[in-house]
């Protein structure tokens, strides 16, 4: 798989390293040649110094044959323009954009881009940890609008129906881990203390479930 990564900062380096070690054909583009020094010694992908908005630079990166492009600089306008060019002019089939500044997220969403908002997602995760929530995020989709969370069933919920844990329309159970084995959830099944329940929810659904669990404790 041929992937172009625009931006060789911390995120670009981490992404290039992960994909290269999975045997992907990687080309990294950055306007500052010294940035490539942060790539690991065993990295054997291509590096191209230049402005990613330049047609000549994009052609040198092989954009006509690229299977995917990730624009991950710390400049949101640059990311969205490069991604738009890759998708609309060169028809790169898989394009993803980093959202660096949360205030710029509406700009990226206006272009209907697949985006990862690492700052917003990180702030939300830290908030949840500081809040000592019982529900912990384990996976996010896109910019984090829908998450997968885990909840360890306490003793108080032992032998209660799984359906009692969720509010219709706010969250959906997707798997249960019990004694090291994963099983598909059935709303009518009974939970056991120590089960790990995985569920998907929107942000509103997550907060609704948190409030519901808190009300049960207090009630």
For residue 136, pLDDT over 70 is answered with: yes
pLDDT in tens, 187-210: 889 999 989 999 888 878 888 887
- pLDDT score of 8: 97
Q: Map out the domains of the chain as residue ranges.
A: 2-116, 121-218
Could you tell me which CATH number the domain at 121-218 has? 3.30.70.1450
| Tokens coding 139 | 């996976």
What letters, b where the CB count within 10 A reaches 16 and e where it falls short, cover 11-38? bbbebbbebbeeebbbbbbbbeeebbeb
In percent, the amount of the chain with pLDDT more than 70 equals 92
- pLDDT score of 131: 61
Average pLDDT of the residues in 166-170: 75
| Tokens coding 189 | 């099944």
- Dihedral angle computed from the Cα positions of residues 64, 65, 70 and 76, in that order, rounded to the nearest 10 degrees: 0
For residue 93, pLDDT over 90 is answered with: yes
Confidence of residue 156 (pLDDT cuts 50, 70, 90): confident
Q: Mean pLDDT highest for which of 25-29, 139-143, 163-167, 206-210?
A: 25-29
| Tokens coding 52 | 């990613």
pLDDT in tens, 24-39: 999 999 999 999 999 9
How far is it, in rounded angstroms, from Cα 30 to Cα 43? 16
Pick the CATH number of 2-116 from 3.40.50.720, 1.10.3720.10, 3.40.50.150, 3.30.390.30: 3.40.50.720
- pLDDT score of 111: 86
Average pLDDT of the residues in 19-25: 95
Model pTM? 0.67
Average pLDDT of the residues in 76-86: 95
Q: Return phi, psi of residue 39, to 5°.
A: -70, 150
């Amino acid at each position: 798989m041929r992937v172009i990564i625009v931006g060789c900062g911390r995120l670009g380096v981490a992404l290039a390293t992960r994909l290269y070690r999975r045997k992907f054909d990687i080309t990294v583009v950055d306007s500052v040649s010294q940035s490539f020094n942060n790539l690991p010694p065993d990295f054997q992908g291509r590096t191209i110094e230049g402005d990613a908005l330049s047609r000549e630079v994009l052609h040198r990166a092989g954009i006509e044959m690229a299977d995917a492009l990730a624009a991950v600089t710390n400049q949101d306008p640059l990311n969205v323009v490069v991604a738009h060019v890759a998708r609309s002019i060169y028809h790169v089939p898989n394009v993803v954009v980093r959202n660096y500044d949360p205030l710029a997220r509406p700009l990226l969403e206006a272009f209907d881009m697949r985006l990862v908002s690492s700052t917003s997602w990180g702030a939300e995760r830290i908030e949840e940890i500081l809040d000592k929530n019982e529900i912990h995020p384990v996976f996010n989709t896109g910019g984090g609008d829908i998450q997968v969370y885990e909840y360890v069933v306490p003793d108080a919920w032992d032998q209660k129906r799984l359906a009692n844990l969720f509010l219709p329309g706010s969250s959906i159970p997707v798997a249960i881990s019990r004694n090291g084995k994963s099983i598909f959830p059935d709303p009518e099944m009974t939970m056991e203390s120590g089960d790990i329940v995985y569920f998907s929810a929107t942000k509103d659904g997550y907060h609704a479930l948190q409030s519901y669990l808190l009300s049960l404790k207090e009630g």
